[in-house]
Structure 1
Amino acid sequence: MSSHQPTGTDDSALAVLAPADAVIFDLDGVVVDSFGVMRQAFLTAYAEVVGGGEPPFEEYCRHLGRYFPDIMRIMGLPLELEEPFVRESYRLAGQVTVFPGVRELLTALTARGTRLAIATGKSGPRARSLLDRLGLLGHFDHVLGSDEVPRAKPAPDIVLRALELLRVPAGRAVMIGDAVTDLASARGAGVRAVAALWGESEEGPLLAERPDAVLRHPDDLLALLPAPVSPR
């Protein structure tokens, strides 16, 4: 059991005490620490496509959780940045690490019989390739990317699709995310929205969204989410 104390209001803590049959995770900033790779890939892509000037990486970070082409549209940047960004992301994938405690969390949830899925702003093939490289792919029943649903986050489509594939009703699932878009997508699908604060995300905007619970370490989830009473 974690020595960390899960945070949130009394009401939000109670909201997540009901057991869940499924946990849906965002990928970057929740399962894997890819921030450094993401930064280098963006800087390289910007230099190749746009050229001189200061790459607006801080602004890019404010949109994390969204699908890369959607971020480019919001920022008014050329969609051509996607090709070198993806190329560099693959090239540097060996530098991506798993957050401390995540492997143990996934193992514990799997032992409980909890069904697991990924719903990420990445493309599906890139997400599955990265998880396979890190030895985590086998933990997940399904890995969904933003290119595999009609509308990317913050729309609920990717979470709804995960629920459909998992065959779990929204009320028996939670989603763990580190971005406002993750929380919005979860809530749009009727799923309890839990904020993860162990990555690079700013705490203030996430707390302002009043998530159902706030986790400061991966294994805090085990304290807030008891195992189902009946074995699966």
Structure 2
Amino acid sequence: MSLPIVHSCASRTMISNMIYLAQDSKCDTYRKLYLNYALQLIELTTKETLMQYNHIVFDLDGTLIDTENAILKTWQYTLETYGLKYSLEKLRIVLGIPTLDALELLDASVDQDFENKWIQNYSKFSDQAEFFPGTKDMLHFMKKSGFHLGVVTSRKKTEYESYFRKFNLEQIFDLIVCADDTLRYKPDSEPLLYYAEKSGTTPDSCIYIGDMPTDITCANAAGFTSGLVTWNHSSVLEPDADYIFSSPEDLLKLYNI
């Protein structure tokens, strides 16, 4: 089980000491004892800390909804209309970043209508998108437990209305912030600060959970606590994340749900 990263100095020192003792021990029994104690300290500390975050805000693509295949195929299809051929594997670098940045990384020469074409072409593959296993149940449990749930996504409202309305997210989330609700986008802090303002809360009562380094940068810049999900089986790791969740159940367990 992957456990969150702990940032309390005292707790981190104790946990580090336990891990050091485990690594240094030549006795398997003591090694297991030290590691078990370290795990207990991590769980105790993170449970106490997480309870202060009553606003739990999520990214959408790659975090709650598995859209990776649909996104990559849309990129591949749209680029082919310009005579540009890329493998799906090479296109993975576009995930989680703005279109213009992605085109620059790909060194792709396209016209100004590319983004509109991309949005139109996404409809050809959007039916492949679905909730990651366990995420829908997790959201319902958290909603019933009284937490405020929100979404901050890089999707524009037109995209959201066209491709995500079928998930009935309005029944789960109190507020959904799209890219065109703010002037600046992730990784800038503005989208999360906009969420806090509209929700009548403060950043220190919020945690933002996403799957990309841009999500973690955005959360940290806004003063939100940051959480990185790895349940999408990506290879993304972000050392600046405050917490790491390997499954939706991890989040429920830490909140004692």
Is the 2:72–2:92 contact (alpha carbons within 8 Å) kept by the matching residues of 1?
no
Alignment correspondent of 2:86: 55
Residue correspondence of structure 1 range 39-54 to structure 2 within 5 A: 39-48=72-81, 50-52=82-84, 54=85
Q: Deviations over 1:38-61 (max 9, x none)?
A: 11110111011x214x32755543
Match for 1:194 among 224, 227, 248? 227
Residue correspondence of structure 1 range 85-100 to structure 2 within 5 A: 85-100=118-133
Alignment correspondent of 1:230: none
Name the % identity. 22
Match for 2:246 among 204, 207, 216? 216
Gaps in structure 2 of 5+ consecutive residues: 9-41
Give the number of the structure whose residues are more often helix, by fraction: 2
- Shift in Å at residue 148 of structure 1? 2.3
- Shift in Å at residue 65 of structure 1? 2.1
Matches of 1:153 and 1:58, distance apart in 2: 24
TM-score (norm 2): 0.76
Partner-residue secondary structure (3-state), 1:168? coil
Matches of 1:141 and 1:73, distance apart in 2: 36
Is the 1:67–1:122 contact (alpha carbons within 8 Å) kept by the matching residues of 2?
no
Is the 1:7–1:214 contact (alpha carbons within 8 Å) kept by the matching residues of 2?
yes
Instruction: Please tell me whether Structure 1 or Structure 2 has the larger radius of gyration of its CA atoms.
Output: 2
Partner-residue secondary structure (3-state), 1:84? helix
Q: Deviations over 1:53-74 (max 9, x none)?
A: x327555433422333443355
Matches of 2:155 and 2:100, distance apart in 1: 10
Matches of 2:213 and 2:196, distance apart in 1: 20
How many corresponding residue pairs? Answer: 218
Alignment correspondent of 2:3: 7
Match for 1:65 among 80, 85, 96? 96
Change in CA separation of 1:56 and 1:144 when aligned onto 2, cut-off 3 Å: farther
- Shift in Å at residue 6 of structure 1? 4.1
Alignment correspondent of 1:151: 184
Partner-residue secondary structure (3-state), 2:86? coil
Gaps in structure 1 of 5+ consecutive residues: 228-232
Partner-residue secondary structure (3-state), 2:7? helix
Matches of 1:86 and 1:111, distance apart in 2: 34
Give RMSD over aligned pairs: 2.3
Alignment correspondent of 1:166: 199
Partner-residue secondary structure (3-state), 2:251? helix
TM-score (norm 1): 0.83
Deviation above 4 Å: which 4+ runs of structure 1?
56-60, 73-76
Relative contact order higher in (CA < 8 Å, ≥ 6 apart): 1
Matches of 1:40 and 1:159, distance apart in 2: 29
Q: Give the residue type in structure 2 aligned to 1:212.
A: D
